[in-house]
Amino acid sequence: MEKKVLYLYTRDSNYDDIITFLKMYKKVTFSKITNNTLVALADDDFSFSDFSKLSELLLEELLVNFVGLYLPDNFDLSVNDLETGFKKINTKVYDITSFIIEICLEKEVNLQKKLRSYYYNLVGIDNINTVLGFIENNFNASKTSKNLYLHRNTLNYRLEHFALKTEMDIKKFQTALAIYLLFKR
């Protein structure tokens, strides 16, 4: 069974109570502490809302607030890179889209560059440009196809390929905002 990777970052770097708490929590296990970030593994069926509930429990029980990051499967960016963003953003649990938005609003330029590079390598420049064109044409597939000189099936294939590889639904506003901020700013 695959495990989800969760990142928890507290500004005081005291993880003893959190680790003890996680030992009692059945779906999440402590993995390691890398730099100042606790890395935990969760069952594959552990969802973003489960992570938010865990955050609330930790706040209620231990009075510990943290930056939490719930990433898509196979996300490949180092904890060191992500940690620079953790230091600047508000304490709450983020999924990848809300994390990208927050990083862009905080103008964490180095992390933005690394995220852009990661997504260019993951899906390719043509797919990124197609997604940006789709956003700029107000999610209108016919208009996007015409403006980008693409067959409608090619447009749909690229949008599906993007969604499959990134685990982000480009037809949702928050995802579209994250991608637009990341690549157009």
Q: Are residues 31 and 39 in contact, defined by beta-carbon separation less than 8 angstroms?
A: yes
Q: Are residues 41 and 28 in contact, defined by beta-carbon separation less than 8 angstroms?
A: yes
How many CB atoms within 10 Å of residue 10? 20
Q: What is the largest CA-CA distance in the chain?
A: 57
Q: Does some domain include residue 76?
A: yes
Q: Does some domain include residue 114?
A: no
* Category of 140 on φ-ψ map: left (φ > 0), alpha (ψ -120 to 50) or beta: beta
Where a domain ends, among 76, 106, 136?
106
Q: Do strands 3-9 and 67-70 pair parallel, antiparallel, or not at all (unpaired)?
A: antiparallel
Note the pLDDT tens digit of each residue in 151-163. 999 999 999 999 9
Helix (H, G, I), strand (E, B) or coil at 41: strand
Q: What is the CA radius of gyration of the chain?
A: 18
CA 60 – CA 167 distance, rounded (Å): 31
Angle at 70 between CA 33 and CA 164, to 5 degrees: 130
Residue 101's Cβ-count burial label (10 Å; 0-12, 13-18, 19+) is: buried
Do 16 and 100 lie in one domain? The reply is yes
Do 9 and 74 lie in one domain? The reply is yes
Identify the domain containing residue 165 by its residue range. 124-184
Return the H-helix or E-strand segment holding 4.
Answer: strand 3-9
| Structural domain total, the chain | 2
* Residue 103: per-residue pLDDT: 95
Q: What is the pLDDT along the chain (185 residues), one digit of tens a residue?
A: 577 889 999 887 778 888 888 888 788 888 888 888 989 988 888 889 988 898 888 888 888 888 999 988 878 888 888 888 998 898 899 999 999 999 999 999 999 999 999 999 999 999 999 999 999 999 999 999 999 999 999 999 999 999 999 999 999 999 999 999 999 85
Do 139 and 85 lie in one domain? The reply is no
Residue 134's Cβ-count burial label (10 Å; 0-12, 13-18, 19+) is: buried
Return the H-helix or E-strand segment holding 69.
Answer: strand 67-70
* Residue 152: per-residue pLDDT: 94
Do 62 and 96 lie in one domain? The reply is yes
